[in-house]
A and B are shown apart, each in its own frame.
Chain A
Amino acid sequence: MNIVNFTPVTATVGGMIIGLAVVIFFLFNGRLVGISGIAANALSEKNNRFDNLLFLIGLVIGPILYTLFTNKEINITISNSLILLICAGLLVGIGTRVSGGCTSGHGISGIGRFSLRSIIATITFMIFGILTVLIKNYI
């Protein structure tokens, strides 16, 4: 194992900003952030639909405002294989709904309220994510 590109300060600060979003949503609207749930329900549930849509629009506006205010370009590196991205998207969409949460819903909101269910979910998706990268990169 080599440790590379480690950015502990921006990671922690960015994480605290995410935590702040979770707190505000809970204090004012009484709901815990889980993005897979918000996104799926924005399409299929009448209940809270407009709130959910606004949250998703906010998620997209966030990076735009960041670029406007800081003048920093956001660079991402993503796979070019559309087949891989379609498979990945389907698996993420199906998996998060079957398990009832994603990195935010189980990993942050769930663990934050000490839910054993979410701790088990997070350990499981981390292990399978690590195994998938291991197989993809080295086998």
Chain B
Amino acid sequence: MNKLISLLTGIIFGTGLVVSEMINPEKVLSFLDVFGNWDPSLAFVMIGALIVSSPLFHLIKNKEKPLFADSFNYSKNKEINNRLIIGSALFGVGWGLGGLCPGPAISSIALLNINSMTFVIAMFVGFYLVKFFKLSS
């Protein structure tokens, strides 16, 4: 059953990216263009997501266990270190260059766009490099 949930969750998430238009890199870049022609929509996407997920997260985490798994399994890492800052800064620069972050980039494979696929391949190379050099958080 948890396999079905994984697939379903991906589908719902991908649909949210389309409805909110976050799948469109131009929309994301115009959110980051605060000093020019600014489109604040991305902030509303985050607020919408948090309104739904945050209260329910705090309710659900007090349950004994999830419905289709043995235990809750999420990062409780609280460390604020150089890797967090440097990694986030590098991600921010890459995000600002292309307007793509991992979710929308992977969802946009559906559109068979060669440019976004190029980005996705480079992103996976990046994942691999971090794994290879053991730099992950």
Looking at A36, A51, A76, the one whose CB has the most chain B CB atoms below 10 A away is A76
8 Å CB contacts to B: which residues of A11-33?
11-33
Complex CA–CA separation, A137 to B99 (angstroms): 13
27 intermolecular pairs with C-beta atoms under 8 Å apart? A10-B20, A15-B45, A15-B47, A18-B20, A23-B57, A25-B9, A26-B72, A28-B69, A35-B106, A50-B6, A61-B14, A62-B13, A76-B108, A76-B111, A86-B122, A90-B123, A93-B124, A93-B130, A95-B88, A95-B126, A98-B90, A99-B90, A102-B91, A104-B13, A113-B61, A124-B88, A125-B95
Q: A92 to B19, Cβ gap below 8 A?
A: no
Do A63 and B21 form a contact, CB below 8 Å, given A91-B90, A100-B75?
no
Q: B106 to A59, Cβ gap below 8 A?
A: yes
Looking at B24, B118, B135, the one whose CB has the most chain A CB atoms below 10 A away is B118
| Contact pick for B95, options A13, A75, A92, A100, CB 8 Å | A92
Question: Interface residues of A, CB < 8 Å — how many?
Answer: 112
Contacts of B2 in A (CB 8 A): 28-29, 51
Q: B103 to A59, Cβ gap below 8 A?
A: yes
Give how many A-B residue pairs fall within 8 Å (CB-CB): 517
Q: A13 to B14, Cβ gap below 8 A?
A: no
Q: A77 to B25, Cβ gap below 8 A?
A: yes
Q: A78 to B96, Cβ gap below 8 A?
A: no
B8 to chain A: closest CB distance in Å?
7
Complex CA–CA separation, A34 to B124 (angstroms): 15
Contacts of A117 in B (CB 8 A): 77-80, 84
Range class of the B interface residue count:
35 or more
B interface residues, Cβ below 8 angstroms from A: 1-3, 5-27, 29-30, 32-42, 44-54, 56-58, 60-61, 65-75, 77-80, 83-103, 105-111, 113, 115-116, 118-131, 135-137
Q: Give the top 8 A-B pairs by smallest Cβ distance, nearest first.
A: A93-B126, A58-B10, A62-B14, A14-B20, A15-B48, A89-B122, A128-B92, A132-B96
Do A97 and B126 form a contact, CB below 8 Å, given A29-B6, A80-B115?
yes
Q: A78 to B66, Cβ gap below 8 A?
A: no
Complex CA–CA separation, A12 to B20 (angstroms): 7
